[in-house]
Structure formats: C-alpha cells, structure tokens
C-alpha cells in the first residue's frame, strides 16, 4: 500500500539526470554540460502567497546553483484569471496576492525569462481533497535497531478518487538553556577594558527552533481494495535526539497528487535514493510537464504540481513516549569555568571574543566569575526566543 522514497533538492538531482553516466573515479570533469532551467512550483488549495523557484542546473565538477532572476512568472486558469509573481529573493518568486486553487478549474504555469525565452506547463487540475484523519506518535525501534519515536498518519478517501500522496513536515521544539542567569556581563568599555554586571533584559532561557523537512515521502493506495492510508510512517526521531527533551511539535502536510506528479517525484526519489549518482543505472533525463515554447527539444527540469492540502499538528513531551530512562543531552558541551584563571586571565577577552557568558559570581573570600560557553546559558545563540503563535505548553 505504500511507497516510501525521498529526494533532496530538485536542483541537485538535476545534476545527475543531466550528466553523463559514468563510473570513473574522482575528480569529476563535466563534458558537454548543458545548463537547463530548473522549476520548483506547487499550487495548492490553501489561500496563501504561493511560491515558484527558478534556477539553472550546474556541473558536477564544481560551482553552485545559479538562480534565474528577472523573469516574469504567472499562473493562469481556464477562466483567464491571471496571478502574477514578483521576485523577492534571487530566483524566488512569490504571488503578489494570496489565492487558492479551486475545484473544477485548471491551471497553467507560464515563465518568461530575462533572455526572452518562454516556458509553459501543461494544464493541471486540483485533485479531490483528502483530510488527515489521525496523526499520532508511538515508541518504535527502526530497522537499524535504534529506539525512538515514530509519527504515523491515517487517512482515507471513501470515494476512491484520490490514490496518490506526498508528505512533508515542519517540526518545532522547545529549548531550555541549562545555565541561564538573570544577569549578564556586558562590555561597557574597550579602552580601558571594562565589564558591568547587569540584569538581563531579553529572553534567553527559553527558545524555539523550527526545521522544515528536506525529504519528501510518497505513498499510494493504487491497486488496493481499501483506499486507505493506515499507520503510514512520516517521521522517526531517535530517543537521544535533543529535540525530544522538553517539548516537541510536528505539523504534517499531506498533498493529494495527480498520478503524473506522483510518478515524476517517484522517479526522482528512486534516483536520489541510489547509493551513488555515478552508477550505470542512471535513468537519463526525466520529463516533467514544463516545456519551452520556442524549442520542443529544449530540456526543462521540474513539474508544476497542483495539489489539495491537508495538515495536522501534534505535540508530545518526552515522558509521553518514554516512561523511563535518561533525557536527551543538551547538544553543546557545557563546562563551567572559573574566571579569571591562570589559563584565561582576562574575563573581558572571554566575554568579548570567546562567547563566554556569566553564570554566577564566585562566593567570597574568592573572587571571579563562573562562566560557561554562550549557547549553554543563552539559547538565542542558536534558536529564536519568540514563542510561535501555535505553541501550546
């Protein structure tokens, strides 16, 4: 009932599918390399500012992605409504107004580059929406014999019209700095070096970090009597991962796909899942649904996908899943030092240049400060101190 494959970034994959199949040892030298347009575009029934990313493929022998700037991007429907996009970052185009794909309408992506080249997709229709019925977490041991928590999805389309799905997720976790202090040492003078112990004015004890999945998981119910997704795994986290220590939330997004979009991504997933992109089993160029209007032989990488979207969010605490055993460790080595010391005579230098922060003062009759590496006492070093609007403690 299910296919679970992943791929990273369409631009990266484009390198392999456009390069020559080879098993030669490194260094790689790309011969007769062809730079082609790479398009990343998904339109959903969510009323938002949608995004299209344009770039150029690059050779395997070095370089970096080159974004396609100054293009004119728009989506039009079969009622001749047009939705324009503007470039907000190099190669990233965002719709000038929020809109949502509507049932019964067909949509087409149109791209005109600064060099005068034009590209268009086939017309795509919104698949029937299928909600996520359940999203839940259970303690599991994976194929590598690692204990952790697995997040599962249940979903069902009783009409049998929708059979193809892909999943992405956004995960957010709470961070608690283990050596936070309500006071901090600030540099108030460089010449002469001078520090002042003051009350901390910004939140530095509790932070939140959000990560977006970089892989895409595919599932389908084609060929099965029941059009049902049951206990489908979308995310596994080892129990010693710090994300689970305090509080964790995952937002799973289920995209109902067309069979063409699903098969395109399935092929890319299978290719990127191979042990090496330099094997003799490379599939060659993978056709999407975007072509050049001037040259039918010109290669274009990408698929303009129109999908219905369903989302669900859950929160878990560590003890919800693991009743016993130690909590995950903080991701930084937090060793407290007494400063000044023979090894580091200058507290000023430690604060100014070495990212050390104040924990407490040394009790008399001794003098000095107990100091720790900054991320151990100030979570803003590596996360955001603004609580997300959706967060529930």
Instruction: Please answer whether residues 378 and 177 qualify as being in contact, where contact means their C-beta atoms are separated by less than 8 angstroms.
Output: yes
* Same domain for 346 and 290: no
φ/ψ (deg, to 5) at 200: -70, 130
Residue 76: inside a domain = yes
Percent of the chain at pLDDT > 70 equals 85
| pLDDT band at residue 12 under the 50/70/90 scheme | very low
Residue 4: inside a domain = yes
Residue 269: inside a domain = no
The total domain count for the chain is 2
Residue 55: inside a domain = yes
For residue 217, give both structure tokens. 């998981």
* Same domain for 24 and 73: yes
For residue 244, give both structure tokens. 């689970």
User: How far is residue 172's CA from residue 313's CA, in Å, rounded to a whole number?
Assistant: 11
Three-class DSSP category at 206: strand
Chain CA centroid to CA 318, Å: 23
* Same domain for 29 and 72: yes
User: How far is residue 17's CA from residue 193's CA, in Å, rounded to a whole number?
Assistant: 58
The answer, yes or no, to whether residue 147 has pLDDT greater than 80, is yes
Q: Which of 36-50, 164-178, 306-320, 355-369 has the lowest mean pLDDT?
A: 355-369
pLDDT given at position 29: 46
* Same domain for 118 and 9: yes
Residue 344: inside a domain = yes
Residue 140: inside a domain = no
* Same domain for 342 and 198: yes
Query: Which pTM value belongs to this model?
Result: 0.86
User: How far is residue 187's CA from residue 197's CA, in Å, rounded to a whole number?
Assistant: 9
* Same domain for 335 and 300: no
Instruction: Please answer whether residues 151 and 313 qualify as being in contact, where contact means their C-beta atoms are separated by less than 8 angstroms.
Output: no
Pairing of strands 147-156, 132-141: antiparallel
* Same domain for 36 and 98: yes
User: How far is residue 301's CA from residue 56's CA, in Å, rounded to a whole number?
Assistant: 9
* Same domain for 375 and 336: yes
Q: How many contiguous H segments (helices) and E segments (strands) does the chain have?
A: 4, 23
Summarize pLDDT for 36-54 with one digit per residue, the tens: 999 999 999 999 999 999 9
Boundaries of domain holding 362: 177-205+330-381
Summarize pLDDT for 67-108 with one digit per residue, the tens: 999 999 999 999 999 999 999 999 999 999 999 999 999 999
Residue 182: inside a domain = yes
Pairing of strands 300-316, 248-256: antiparallel
* Same domain for 123 and 3: yes
* Same domain for 337 and 303: no
* Same domain for 288 and 344: no
User: How far is residue 113's CA from residue 73's CA, in Å, rounded to a whole number?
Assistant: 8
* Same domain for 47 and 94: yes
Residue 314: inside a domain = no
Q: Which helix (H) or strand (E) holds 91?
A: none
């Amino acid at each position: 009932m299910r296919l679970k494959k992943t791929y990273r970034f369409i631009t990266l994959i484009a390198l392999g599918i456009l390069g020559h199949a080879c098993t030669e040892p490194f260094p790689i030298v790309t011969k007769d390399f062809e730079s082609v347009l790479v398009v990343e575009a998904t339109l959903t029934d969510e009323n938002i500012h949608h995004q299209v990313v344009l770039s150029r493929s690059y050779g395997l022998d070095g370089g970096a992605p080159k974004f396609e700037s100054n293009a004119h991007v728009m989506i039009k429907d079969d009622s001749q409504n047009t939705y324009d996009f503007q470039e907000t970052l190099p190669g990233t185009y965002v719709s000038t107004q929020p809109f949502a794909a509507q049932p019964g309408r067909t949509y087409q992506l149109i791209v005109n580059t600064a060099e005068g080249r034009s590209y268009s997709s086939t017309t795509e229709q919104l698949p029937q929406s299928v909600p996520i019925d359940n999203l839940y977490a259970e303690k599991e041991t994976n194929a590598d014999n690692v204990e952790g928590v697995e997040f599962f999805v249940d979903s069902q389309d009783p009409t049998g019209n929708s059979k193809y799905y892909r999943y992405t997720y956004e995960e957010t976790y709470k961070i608690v700095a283990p050596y936070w202090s309500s006071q901090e040492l600030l540099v108030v003078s460089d010449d002469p070096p001078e520090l002042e112990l003051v009350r901390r004015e910004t939140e530095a004890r509790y932070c939140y970090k959000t990560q977006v999945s970089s892989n895409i998981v595919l599932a389908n119910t084609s060929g099965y009597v029941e059009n049902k997704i049951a206990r489908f795994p979308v995310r596994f986290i080892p129990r010693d991962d710090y994300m689970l220590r305090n509080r964790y939330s995952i937002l799973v997004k289920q995209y109902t796909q067309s069979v063409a979009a699903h098969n395109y991504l399935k092929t890319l997933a299978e290719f990127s899942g191979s042990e090496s992109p330099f094997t003799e089993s490379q599939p060659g160029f993978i056709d999407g649904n975007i072509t050049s209007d001037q040259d039918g032989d010109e290669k274009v990488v990408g698929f303009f996908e129109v999908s219905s979207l369903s989302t669900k969010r859950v929160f878990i605490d560590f003890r919800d899943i693991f009743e016993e055993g130690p909590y995950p460790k903080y991701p930084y080595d937090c060793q407290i030092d007494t400063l000044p010391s023979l090894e580091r005579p200058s507290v000023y230098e430690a604060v100014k240049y070495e990212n050390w922060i104040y924990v407490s003062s040394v009790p008399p009759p001794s003098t000095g400060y107990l100091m720790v590496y900054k991320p151990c006492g100030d979570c803003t070093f590596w996360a955001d101190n603004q609580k997300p609007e959706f967060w529930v403690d």
